[in-house]
Amino acid sequence: MGEGKREEPSYICRLKDKLHRNLVVAVVEALTEIFVENRYADKVIERTLAADPRRGSRDRAFIADTVYSIVRWWRLTGFYANVEGKSDVDSIWRRVSIWFQASGYKLPDWLQEYEVTEAILEKRIQMAAEKRAIHHSIPDWLEEFGSQFFSDEKWNTEMESLNERAELVIRVNTLKITRPKLKALLETHDIECLTSADFPDAMLLERKGNLFAMQEFKDGLFEVQDAGSQTIAPFLRVEPGMRVIDACAGAGGKTLHLASLMQGKGRIVSMDIEDFKLNELKRRARRNCIPNIETRLIEGAKTIKRLAESADRLLLDVPCSGLGVIRRNPDAKWKLNPEFIERVKETQAEILNTYPLMLKPGGLMVYATCSILPVENENQVQKFLAANPNFELIEEKHVWPSEGFDGFYMALIKKN
């Protein structure tokens, strides 16, 4: 959308000739939950799709794709509909209507009260193209923030990439199956699988139904994990038999990847401050048939001290703004603010200043975020190294959204 180039969701070629009122109402109700009731988009869509089991796959795709598209282009659709800054039900109907109109639909009678003339729409499209924050549909503060750190060309490229639809990528559980064998299995379900030598455990899938309902998933043959995320565990250079600590494990996506790289040998201590996330990790580990994972709740500084100098490898996948994964969580850009980034920077610094105590001398650790901002990435690492001369930077790496997947930063650091 914008500058005459309008995003068209995948279903448009099938449904552009007709809009069904009950589906459009479901879209409006979902957007109301997200922007009026301030709920998370993924949870809202999950509840919306589950609310009417009579809907077929095409209707479900229509609702999910339309909601995510309008969330992604929330500011731009508001500008087109002349309701920017508003989030009441009437303005949401206007945004939805302008989205369909800009996407080439002929509006039915029950939407025509919100229709604008083609001349007005084209004028607003031209005006939006002249204002970068509106054109890329991001808050003003974020546009200004990125402009501080990146060239205009780089920032435009990354903003454009973050507005693209996220790819569906899985990681093969190599403890149970090889990638060629899993690819062959999935293709029996008419699922097209693409592979790349750059991501040896990843497969990019053509979207096809509910992967979590597949027997192959229930048998632990794969996990859904973006290719960018899959670069972090190998960056830690783990080996079978090591003692590894994943200190900000969450629900354990990278823990499971580490376990497969270690061939199920050695020990992984997965830690988090949220017990429910560790319970989810344990459930996933059972499905993946991984026995060498121990979970530990972080209850304070004593938890860290008890593990002093016990880890050959340490992963610090720290809390962050999540700007690198906006394409996967497009509502996050409307919930973020500069104050949150300042708070999360303090958390990152605190983790960097305390958790490396768990690393053995001579051991390696990775500091990682799913952000693209230097203030959360290189700047934090440089401050840590300046204050801790017994650590040295071995390597750092960016995975940019413009490369096709989620954005990540990682730094490999050695404790001397």
pLDDT value of residue 208: 67
Q: Is the distance from CB of 67 to CB of 45 less than 8 angstroms?
A: yes
pLDDT digits (tens, 9 = 90+) for 169-228: 999 999 999 999 999 999 999 999 999 999 999 999 987 678 888 999 999 999 999 999
At 245 the three-state DSSP class reads: strand
* Strand order, beta sheet including 311-317: 293-297, 267-272, 243-246, 311-317, 359-369, 408-415, 391-399
Which residues are the active-site residues?
A: 370
List of the chain residues with pLDDT < 70: 1-17, 208
pLDDT value of residue 17: 55
pLDDT value of residue 5: 41
Structural domain boundaries in the chain:
12-136, 168-224, 229-415
User: Cα–Cα distance between 71 and 395 in angstroms, integer?
Assistant: 37
Average pLDDT of the chain is 93
Tokens 């899985």 correspond to 170
pLDDT value of residue 13: 38
Q: Is the distance from CB of 213 to CB of 393 less than 8 angstroms?
A: no
Return the ∠ at Cα 87 (arms to 113 and 2), rounded to 5°: 70
Domain 168-224 of CATH type 3.90.550.10: no
pLDDT value of residue 231: 98
Q: Do domains 12-136 and 229-415 have the same CATH topology?
A: no
Other Cβ atoms less than 10 A from the Cβ of 72: the count is 23
CATH number for the domain formed by residue range(s) 12-136: 1.10.940
CATH top-level class of 229-415? alpha beta
pLDDT digits (tens, 9 = 90+) for 60-86: 999 999 999 999 999 999 999 999 989
User: Which of 308, 323, 319, 386 has the alpha carbon at shortest distance from 347?
Assistant: 319
pLDDT value of residue 53: 87
